[in-house]
Chains A and B, each alone.
Chain A
Amino acid sequence: MKCIINNIQIDSIATYLPTSILEMQSLNGAYGENNVKQVINATGVHRVHIAGVNETASDMCFEAAKFLIEKENINKEQIDGLVFISQTPDYVAPATSIILQNRLQLSKETVCFDISYGCSGYIYGVFQAASLIGSGACQKVLLLAGDTTSKLVNPKDRSQRMVFGDCGSATIISKGDSRMGFHICSNGAEFDKVIIPAGGFRTPSSEETCKEIIDEDGSIRTQDDLYMDSTAVFNFIIKSGKNSIDTIIDFMKWSKDEVDFFALHQATRFTINYLRKRLGIPEEKSPTNITNYGNTGPTTIPLVLTDLCFKGSKYDTENLKKVILSAYGIGLSWGSIACDISQTNIYAPINRK
């Protein structure tokens, strides 16, 4: 699917990092020093922020939203749409977005959506928010994307525990004078490449699904835990990422050279570097910040922006008129957005050390 939505803008972005930090080197005793070193070399992840036992994705998104509403002096009555992107909602039912409407004291005239996506989620969230505004249904939409992926991973699953971190984000999207291009794709044939096999209604959790399985690399998980086929996912990211970014640039009639910034999903440092080489884009235009945060699912894009792109930084937002956002993940699902964030107010991550 490709489209352009006119008269739209990203007003502001904030992110919230939980305060607890897991240093990968602290796992030397559990996994062995050499193993830890090898994984760090490949992923580039030295530490991740981890949500507290009782802290949920909605709690982190709530904090980011509260911060943004206060800093931007937003009249809550003007927010008439709320989109919550997460795979770690508060409850199986009801939708967490509706709970957030109340917690944030937004108007009851607010339309709320929960959308279940992981790493590609921010792309879907911006598209949903832009569609609500483009259709005339909403004036100002609060997009909340966040996950506590650390709680989906088995503590004995070395390969994933050393990659995934937690984060929440808030983005305000409203009517404006810029335009956004979207390219979004799905491939359900590969639904089992990233999956939590049990716990839904197809395969409810049971004694059987709780049994530990040892992977060929020594990682241990059950059917109730997040599973990822690393080989398939790597190939998927490289192929779909390149295709989607090439497609959106072509669709917008831009050239790669004139793109000011590429905010790419932070899967692993190696994957980003390899994709960047395949695309032929310079490192300074697609930086990584995975070292301190890991893969934070649907918040990697807002986290790259809030961590690196702010006024006075190397990536001063004033210069970011042609920006590509691109992400790929569970589903399998992927997509890219072409947008102008030169007028966007971007705030440094809350709790950044």
Chain B
Amino acid sequence: MHQLIENSNLKNIFMIEFIKNFADIFDETPIEQFSPDTFFKNIEEWSSLHILATINMIEVKYGVQLKISDVIPTNTIKDLYDLMSSRK
């Protein structure tokens, strides 16, 4: 049980870090607007260039190479995080 809680906390820490990295791609949207459930394509600032930056961020920060076609079906930041985690 203790191990489970520790794992859960660790996952939260990684997710928070992931959200910070993702939010850093944006210039105008404040970080408070980002959560695991955020539908990132609905963010006003979102553009096709943000897809490229997302792929670049995930490669640089997590060493995972994604394609545009991998990112297109995702909707929430949690989707992106799970996609990245599954490719590690």
A: residues with CB less than 8 A from B are 38-39, 41-43, 217, 230-231, 234-235, 238, 268, 270-271, 273-274, 277-278
Interface centre among B27, B48, B52, B53, by most A CB within 10 Å? B52
Do B24 and A270 touch across chains, with their CB atoms under 8 A apart? Answer: no
Report B17-52 CB contacts with A as 1/0, cut-off 8 Å: 000000011010000000000000000010111101
Interface residue? B68 (CB, 8 A) = yes
CA distance A178 to B48 in the complex (A): 43
Do A235 and B52 touch (CB < 8 A)? yes
**A42–B56 CB distance below 8 A:** no
Other-chain contact of B25, A39, A41, A268, A274 (Cβ < 8 Å): A274
Distance from B23 Cβ to chain A, minimum over Cβ atoms (Å): 11
Closest partner residue, chain A, to B25 (CB atom): A274
**Given A273-B27, A274-B25, A277-B24: A41 touches B47 (CB 8 Å cut-off):** yes
Q: How far is the CA of A39 from the CA of B46 in the complex (A)?
A: 11
Q: How far is the CA of A268 from the CA of B68 in the complex (A)?
A: 19
One of B24, B25, B45, B56 near A235 (C-beta < 8 A): B56
Quote the shortest CB–CB distance from B2 to chain A (angstroms): 39
Shortest CB-to-CB span from B26 to chain A, Å, is 9
List chain A residues, Cβ under 8 A from B45.
Answer: 41
22 A-B pairs, CB-CB below 8 angstroms? A38-B48, A39-B47, A42-B47, A42-B48, A43-B49, A217-B48, A230-B52, A231-B52, A231-B55, A234-B49, A234-B53, A235-B52, A235-B56, A238-B56, A268-B49, A270-B27, A270-B49, A270-B50, A270-B53, A271-B49, A274-B25, A274-B56
CB <8 Å contact, A38 and B52: no
Question: Which A residues lie within 8 Å of B60 (CB)?
Answer: 278
* A231-B68, A277-B24 as given contacts; A270 in contact with B47, CB under 8 Å: yes
Whether B47 and A234, one on each chain, are in contact in the complex, defined by CB atoms closer than 8 angstroms, is no
Q: Which residues of B contact A42 (CB under 8 A)?
A: 47-50
Once bound together, how far apart are the Cα atoms of A41 and B50, in whole Å?
11
Q: How far is the CA of A234 from the CA of B68 in the complex (A)?
A: 13
